[in-house]
Amino acid sequence: MQQGTLAVYSELSAADGRFRGYVKPLIDDLEIFNLQDDKDSFLQKVWEGVVAVTARAFRNHRENRFATKVSFSGTFDDPQYSTWSVVGQILKNTFIRAIPKGIEHSVGVKEGRGGPGRGAVTIVEDGEEKESTAGERDKGSP
């Protein structure tokens, strides 16, 4: 890599052995390939060329940014993510709208109906309730 700025943003919320979140790597002003560098082997130059062409083709040209967003969820024993979602985010960044820098505040845990200390939580994603353990835990509560 000749130059570029890497920024990684992430949010994660977890409760009761389950989690949800994302990692958002962004590379601005990426320059990889230097044909004049005599230190690299032929295979290294070929690899750098493939990476450079891919990064150039799939960057957001207006922002000069290569980016994606990897969403994940599940349990600690069985984490889940979608490769197709990652590819879709790369294409979205390239052709529709640049993935913005910064934390999105789209994943969180808020106190549920069980109140503080009762372990009842609601998973919030993109400002909407996705899952709640409050109903399960409040059974039998006064």
Domain that holds residue 123: 105-142
Mean pLDDT highest for which of 11-15, 53-57, 131-135? 11-15
Q: 78 and 125: one domain?
A: no
How many Cβ atoms sit within 10 Å of the Cβ of residue 32? 19
Predicted confidence at residue 59, as pLDDT, reads 87
State yes or no: pLDDT of 132 exceeds 80.
Answer: no
Q: 44 and 24: one domain?
A: yes
For 22-90, the DSSP string reads EEEEEEEEEE---TT-TTS-HHHHHHHHHHHHHHHHTSBTTTTEEE--EEEEEESSSEEE-HHHHHHHH
Q: 48 and 68: one domain?
A: yes
Q: 24 and 93: one domain?
A: yes
Residue-wise pLDDT for 65-88, tens only, equals 999 999 999 998 899 999 999 999
Q: 89 and 123: one domain?
A: no
Question: CB of 2 within 8 A of CB of 32?
Answer: yes
Mean residue pLDDT across the chain: 77
Q: 109 and 85: one domain?
A: no
Whether the full predicted model's pTM is greater than 0.75, yes or no, is no
Q: 66 and 132: one domain?
A: no
Q: 16 and 68: one domain?
A: yes
Predicted confidence at residue 138, as pLDDT, reads 40
Q: 97 and 137: one domain?
A: no
